[in-house]
Amino acid sequence: MNDNYFVIEILFSPLANENIITFLSYYSEQVGFLEEEDKLICYIPERDYTDSVKTELTTFLNDIKKDFNVEKFNVDIKKIQNQNWNQEWENSIEPMEITDNIVIKPTWKEYTAKPNQIVIQIDPKMSFGTGHHESTRLMLWGLEKYTRKGNKVLDMGTGTGVQYYFPILDSNFDFVSFLYLH
C-alpha cells in the first residue's frame, strides 16, 4: 500500500474516451479510469509514470481532436498519496431517497425516517447496494407505483437484495425471491 498515484484529468470529448483509455492502458497494467460527464480521469501508479506520458498523451489528443470536433482540450496531472480507498468510498456514501417513501441507507450511516418511509438498510459494496444505479431506482419506483396490497411479487436474481427488501418491509405483498448462484 506504499504506491502513490498520478491522477490525469482529461477534458476532451467523451466520445473519445475509449480511444484515450486504450492509449493510456499501455503505460501500466494497473491503470484505473473514472468517466465523468465532462472529463476522463486516469489513475496510474507512480512507478509506471514518466514525464513522457503527458507529452505523448498531448500529442495523441492533438492527433485525434479533428476526428472528435474538439478545438481545445486540457490535461491536468497531479500526484496523490495512496490511502484506504475502501474507507474513502464508504465515507462518501450517503442515504439515498429513491422516492418520497423509499430510502436506501448503509448500515453505518444515520438517517431519520419521515413518516411512512420505508428505510432499506444494507451493507453496500462498491458496485451494488447503494441505490445509485438507475436499474435499482427504476425497479423500486416501479414496485411502489404499480403493485398493490395483495399482489404477488417474484424477484429472480436479487443481487445485493435491495429490491428484495422493499416488498418485505412494505408488508403489502406475498413475496418470493431467489438468487441463482452459478
Res. 11: pLDDT tops 60: yes
Residues 64 and 19 in one domain: yes
Query: Within a domain: residue 53?
Result: yes
Residues 70 and 124 in one domain: no
Query: C-alpha grid cell for residue 51?
Result: 514525464
Q: Which residues of 54-86 are buried (b: 16+ CB within 10 A; e: fewer)?
A: eeebeeebeebbeeeebeebeeebeeeeeeeee
Residues 98 and 171 in one domain: yes
Q: What is the C-alpha separation between 153 and 143, in angstroms, rounded?
A: 9
- Where a domain ends, among 30, 54, 82? 82
Can you tell me the mean pLDDT for 94-101?
A: 91
Residues 70 and 114 in one domain: no
List Cβ neighbours of 97 (8 Å cut-off, separation of 6 or more): 103
- Where a domain ends, among 82, 103, 130? 82
The answer to whether the beta carbons of residues 41 and 33 sit under 8 Å apart is yes
Centre a 10 Å sphere on the Cβ of residue 129 and count the other Cβ atoms it contains: 20
Range of the domain at 126: 92-178
Q: Could you give the number of structural domains in the chain?
A: 2
Res. 166: pLDDT tops 70: no
Q: What is the C-alpha separation between 131 and 138, in angstroms, rounded?
A: 10
Residues 103 and 136 in one domain: yes
Res. 179: pLDDT tops 70: no
For the chain, the average pLDDT equals 84
- Where a domain ends, among 82, 111, 132? 82
Residues 76 and 96 in one domain: no
Q: What are the φ/ψ torsions at residue 59 (nearest 5 degrees)?
A: -60, -45
Res. 167: pLDDT tops 80: no
Residues 96 and 117 in one domain: yes
Predicted TM-score (pTM) of this structure: 0.57
Helix 17-25 vs helix 52-64: angle between axes, to the nearest 10 degrees? 150
Strand partners, 176: 154
Higher-pLDDT residue of 100 and 176 is 100
Looking at residue 170, its pLDDT comes to 64
Query: Within a domain: residue 87?
Result: no
